[in-house]
Amino acid sequence: MAKSQKRLPQPMRPSGRKGRIFGWLMARLNRPAYRWTIAQLRTIAPEGLLEIGFGTGHLLDAAIRQQAVKHVAGRDPSELMVETARKRLRRLHTKADIDISIGDDTALPEGPYDAIVALHCFQFWADPKATLTKLRMMLRPGGRLILVLRRHGSRRAARKLPNPISRGADEIAATCAAAEAAGFTLVGMAGISKNSHGLVLACG
């Protein structure tokens, strides 16, 4: 692994023993976001789903078991999380076509998809406007993009994030504006927990 990668914080690329602990903790803290996202998927009953930054694989697991999604794909920059998610999903290959591997928002599988979700990873997108434009093209007509944004707690913490939108004073409003510029229409939003805010975007 390159020296620069070793310096990346655990939230951006979990690794080693600390990464396993972090992944377990985040999966527990993300339960409200998982439930909210599954509820949004229920309204469109997607057959094809892509998750950016799938972490431990809990959401993909729920999408297959609860929503009977037939094709799931995902990209995550952490080797540890890919390994963890593959173990979690290995018994579900008879229920769905599963394609998960290493990658980030700049290295995504070809679509089209009925839904694309990204929970708590938007702040790590270096060029969010380009990614949003790409995601719009990857969705089928009537598809949904579901973003769960993390509330960063302080302006000082936000200034260290790669995403220029997340570094701004009003991430939610700026994200909505960037999504609309990329061709999306905001169809739903909600405060999920004290640390998370959800956006549902449709192909405009």
Range with top average pLDDT, 19-28, 131-140, 187-196: 131-140
Q: Domain ranges for the chain, please list them.
A: 14-203
Closest CA to 167 of 136, 196, 128, 199: 128
28-53 pLDDT tens trace: 678 999 999 999 999 999 999 999 99
State the Cα–Cα distance between residues 115 and 51, nearest whole angstrom: 9
CATH class of 14-203: alpha beta
Question: Which range, of 22-36, 98-112, 143-157, averages the lowest pLDDT?
Answer: 22-36
Cβ(45)–Cβ(103) below 8 Å: no
Query: Where do the DSSP E strands lie in the chain?
Result: 48-52, 71-76, 97-102, 113-119, 139-150, 184-193, 196-203
Cβ(116)–Cβ(52) below 8 Å: yes
Q: How far is CA 35 from CA 42, 59, 97, 195, in A?
A: 11, 9, 22, 15
Element (DSSP H or E) covering residue 17: helix 16-29
148-191 pLDDT tens trace: 998 876 666 667 788 999 998 899 999 999 999 999 999 999 99
Count of Cβ atoms closer than 10 Å to residue 107 Cβ: 10
pTM (predicted TM-score): 0.88
CA angle 63, 68, 73 (to 5 degrees): 50
Q: How confident is the model at residue 5 (pLDDT cuts 50, 70, 90)?
A: very low
Q: Residues of 150-168 as b/e, b for ≥16 C-beta within 10 angstroms?
A: bebeeeeebeebebebbbb
